[in-house]
Chain A
Amino acid sequence: MFLHGFLPSLLEGALVTLGVALASLALAMVLGLAGAMAKLSRWRWARGLAYVYTTLIRGVPDLVLMLLIFFGGQVAVNNLALALGHEDYIDIDPYVAGVLTIGFIFGAYLTEAFRGAFLAVPPGQREAGLAYGMSGWQVFARISFPQMFRHALPGLSNNWLVLIKSTAIVSVIGLHDLMTRGQQAAGSTKEPFVFYTAVALIYLGFTTVSELVFDRLQKRLSVGQRQGQL
């Protein structure tokens, strides 16, 4: 029988992996946007905070951060609950810990990508918007952000590809993702090679499809953009 009937289980795990990856991406984009705006802001404390965030996160492995947030968060939450008068033990959901860690990490990488992209929008664009009497928020939403996004796309696509592969480590904190399902199937059939190959192929499918989608998106967002001929 094909994969000993473990295919549905693997696909379920693949959905969990995709869910973790997409939720983390959403969180990372929010943090990245906030980080980029903080780095470009006129307030010194905001720039300092964003600098500390990106430097610290990019200096530590994702696995260590994840174990810190999962085990450390467990202790912190329970100490807090005890202080508030809860006696029961609270378990941290590995899904939440995974999404928080990966979103937090890639927020730092996206901060850099978005910062560069904001800088790539000519300042005259923003000034023209202000000259038309738009408010600061309107200039951001109508002028800077849409133009920034095209410049941010290559960085975004690279980070997404790294992110989706990083989700494999959530298996370490006990989430039933694609990796865990593969481990379970490998354990019960004694055919680890077959199942890890299957897992690898599913990841390869994810990254390949992502690259194709980003290629099309890039073409679409670059419509009307002149390309220099070498």
Chain B
Amino acid sequence: MDLSAITENLPLYLSGAQTTFELLLISLGLGLAFAIPLAVLRTLPQRWIWGPIWFYTYIFRGTPMLVQLFLVYYGLAQFEWMQQSTLWPYFSSAWFCACLTFALNTCAYTVEIIAGSIKALPAGEIEAAKSLGMSRWVMLRRIVLPSALRRALPAYSNEAIFMLHGTSLASIVTIMDLTGAARQVNSTYYLPFEAFITAAVFYFLLTLSLVGLFHLAERRWLRPLMAR
């Protein structure tokens, strides 16, 4: 064990951890924001509405996130019009492409999680809302979404942890996240155990804090549904 290389590079790991955290926050935030309205639309009876959303989640849940990342980052550069367009500065940046891909990916999974929990809502809750004369929009805002979102918490916590681990793919497109830091330390000093175990410890701590956070959230919002 040679820990001097690790202590020397601790700032690299810390900035890597920050990058990982930012990637996670941006992708989860964007993914969830788009997933909620899409999940509601996904449960509507009209085929032309839920059909395209189903297709989107089917594609993104059926292919590896690494392939999606390569398609966005390397794939789009194939087209001349893309390189001429005003969006090119964004799509030529690894950071933008990683955030976009991760957000699209987690959004697809989150749509299915939330739509599933809307469909599993007890019929009585909706009937009660209707019999009180609530309009569709009010019912959605006051009854359906609060109830469905809290029921989706346990499944969503798994998705968030998967996403934290998924952000490590960013290191493959040259982003210096935690994994990127570890890879650089390994290639500089050739100390694979020290380099990757340090990153693993960081990821483990991040995972634990995420688990703890969701545990608190469940205690706060799932309380009415828990066994007494």
Contacts and interface: CB of A to CB of B under 8 A. Distances in A.
- A, B assembled together: yes
Interface of A: 56, 58-65, 67-68, 71-72, 74-76, 165-169, 171-172, 179, 182-183, 186, 190-194, 196-197, 199-200, 203-204, 207-208
Contacts of A208: 62
B88 interface: no
B166 interface: yes
Interface in B168-195: 168-169, 171-172, 178-179, 182-183, 186, 190, 192-193
Interface string B147-161: 000000000000001
The B contact surface, by secondary structure, is helix
Contacts of A65: 200
B76 interface: yes
The 5 A-B pairs at the shortest CB distance, nearest first, are namely: A71-B192, A168-B64, A61-B165, A193-B75, A68-B196
A166 B75 CA distance: 20
30 contacts: A58-B207, A59-B203, A61-B166, A61-B167, A61-B168, A61-B203, A63-B165, A63-B171, A64-B168, A64-B178, A64-B179, A64-B199, A67-B183, A68-B192, A68-B193, A71-B192, A72-B193, A72-B196, A76-B193, A165-B63, A171-B66, A182-B67, A186-B75, A192-B74, A196-B71, A196-B75, A197-B75, A199-B67, A207-B61, A207-B62
Contacts of A179: 64, 66-67
Contacts of B204: 56, 59-60
Nearest to B59: A204
B203 A169 contact: no
A67 B79 contact: no
B78 A194 contact: yes
Interface in B208-226: 208
A64 B13 CA distance: 14
Interface residues of B, number: 42
Contacts of B62: 203-204, 207-208
Given A59-B207, A190-B78, A71 B70 contact: no
Contacts of B67: 168, 179, 182, 196, 199-200, 203
A67 B186 contact: yes
Given A63-B169, A192-B78, 16 more contacts: A59-B203, A63-B171, A64-B196, A67-B183, A67-B196, A72-B192, A72-B193, A76-B193, A165-B64, A192-B70, A192-B77, A193-B71, A193-B76, A200-B67, A200-B71, A204-B62
Contacts of B171: 63
